[in-house]
């Protein structure tokens, strides 16, 4: 059996965990630069706020229903996610972290447990430990666990818990489950299936395997078998190395000066270098891009990028910032108002056993020691406390985050104050 544990309205719940006055009030979280709605509490959904809506368009709704809006605080959300996952790891020897707010638990060998009681315990302990409400779905396959979680979360009578532990419950659940909501069935496949009269997950299980394979490939067959209760998707316990790492931001205000954009690009390259070191890899390629605001038809438009193949793969902030600035200077043009810039590194290889260039004159051992010292100091004293001069300290380009909540769990200056 598998359990899928899903955090309810995760970003909004993180904001509420440290501010109980938000309970019962509509809460939304906005994207970078406070642009669009990316998360909503149930109360916000009820007053008609839709996912992805631009904040300026729903200003009347925010005022009318006293909605509390927050800038996205990914530092807080990432730390709270780790706390949730650490708690869930206590309930199963094997856990697959599927996303920032979802995890699968392998319940193989839990045959003597009352799974509904166990699900209630998971839900209660996780919420108590972290302040984040969760829903728990349990079934014989991961795809069915997704279905069970949906019923636990969406049907109030189940109180956040649903277990599919019999064939009768499986059939009953699939007959009420729309085909477009099935894990592994994308938008295009959903349109195809509806065209052939397959409206529910149960309808899909009744189609012939041959037809499914012809129209949805072997992946579609696996999904069908999973819905029939035959496990085909195993737990993925690995921590896969990223094949490319990207760091990009829209500027809080449009920029026209090269030094300001160079400062931003240096920061983006630095974050990429840190992430490479964290997963013990190096990059052979760095790509830098810039562009104007394509939605401002009243302004001149320009977009460009530069790909650079590095002489030797590296994860040194010093080297990556150096090459990123060379790339930026080659594509920057005067007379434009730039909205966004970014850095992407690829051609990622393990940091051990690197093949250096014949003409490589970089003291790599020295770079490694410097980076190790910088990472240790920043871990101890806070992000970017020690940085290259090229990264600057004014951040004139930084995101607009006018509604940012404190980083309660990662910054001593933001730690919550309890008045008694």
In angstroms, the CA 251 to CA 311 distance is 31
Give the E-state strand segments of 256-302 in sequence order.
281-292
Q: DSSP per residue over 256-303, as a string?
A: --HHHHHHHHHHHHHHHHHHHHHTTEEEEEEEEEEEE-TT-TTS---E
Residue 142 in contact with residue 2, Cβ under 8 Å?
Answer: yes
Residue 34 in contact with residue 55, Cβ under 8 Å?
Answer: yes
Active site residues: 102
- Cα four-point dihedral sign 141, 143, 148, 152: positive
| 327 backbone dihedrals φ, ψ, rounded to 5° | -65, -45
Residue 140 in contact with residue 103, Cβ under 8 Å?
Answer: no
Give the E-state strand segments of 45-99 in sequence order.
68-71, 95-99
Residue 224 CB: number of other CB atoms within 10 A?
A: 24
In angstroms, the CA 281 to CA 271 distance is 14
Residue 346 CB: number of other CB atoms within 10 A?
A: 15
């Amino acid at each position: 059996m598998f359990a899928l544990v899903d955090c309810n309205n995760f970003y909004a719940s993180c904001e509420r965990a440290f501010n109980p006055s938000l309970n019962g009030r509509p809460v939304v979280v906005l994207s970078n630069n406070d642009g669009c709605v990316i998360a909503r509490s149930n109360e916000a959904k009820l007053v008609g706020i839709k996912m992805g809506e631009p904040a300026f368009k729903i200003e009347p709704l925010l005022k009318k229903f006293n909605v509390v809006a927050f800038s996205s605080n990914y530092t807080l959300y990432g730390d709270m996610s780790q706390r949730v996952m650490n708690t869930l790891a206590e309930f199963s020897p094997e856990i697959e972290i599927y996303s920032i707010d979802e995890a699968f638990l392998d319940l193989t060998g839990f045959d003597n447990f009352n799974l509904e009681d166990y699900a209630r315990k998971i839900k209660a302990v996780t919420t108590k430990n972290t302040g984040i409400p969760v829903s728990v779905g349990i079934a014989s396959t991961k795809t069915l666990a997704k279905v069970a979680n949906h019923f636990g979360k969406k049907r109030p009578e189940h109180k956040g818990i649903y277990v599919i532990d019999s064939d009768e419950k499986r059939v009953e659940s699939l007959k009420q489950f729309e085909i477009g909501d099935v894990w592994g069935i994308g938008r295009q496949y959903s349109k195809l299936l509806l065209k052939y009269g397959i409206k529910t997950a149960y309808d899909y299980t009744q189609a012939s395997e041959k037809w499914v394979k012809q129209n949805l490939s072997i992946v579609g067959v696996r999904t069908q078998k999973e819905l029939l209760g035959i496990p085909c998707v195993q737990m993925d316990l690995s921590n896969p190395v990223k094949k490319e790492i990207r760091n990009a931001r829209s500027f809080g205000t449009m920029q026209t000066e090269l030094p300001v954009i160079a400062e931003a690009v240096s920061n983006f390259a630095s974050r990429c270098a840190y992430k490479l070191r964290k997963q013990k890899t190096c990059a052979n390629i760095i790509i830098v891009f810039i562009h104007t605001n394509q939605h401002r038809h009243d302004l001149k438009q320009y977009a460009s990028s530069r790909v650079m193949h590095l002489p030797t793969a590296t994860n040194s902030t010093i080297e990556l910032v150096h090459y990123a600035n060379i790339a930026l200077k080659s594509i920057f043009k005067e007379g434009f108002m730039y909205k966004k810039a970014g850095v992407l590194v690829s051609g990622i290889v393990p940091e051990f056993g690197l093949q250096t260039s014949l003409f490589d004159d970089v003291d790599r051992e020295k770079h490694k020691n410097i980076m190790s010292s910088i990472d240790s100091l920043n871990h101890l004293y806070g992000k970017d406390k020690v940085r290259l001069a090229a990264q600057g300290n004014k951040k004139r380009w930084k995101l607009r985050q006018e509604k940012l909540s404190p980083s309660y769990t990662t910054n001593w200056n933001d730690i919550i104050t309890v008045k008694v």
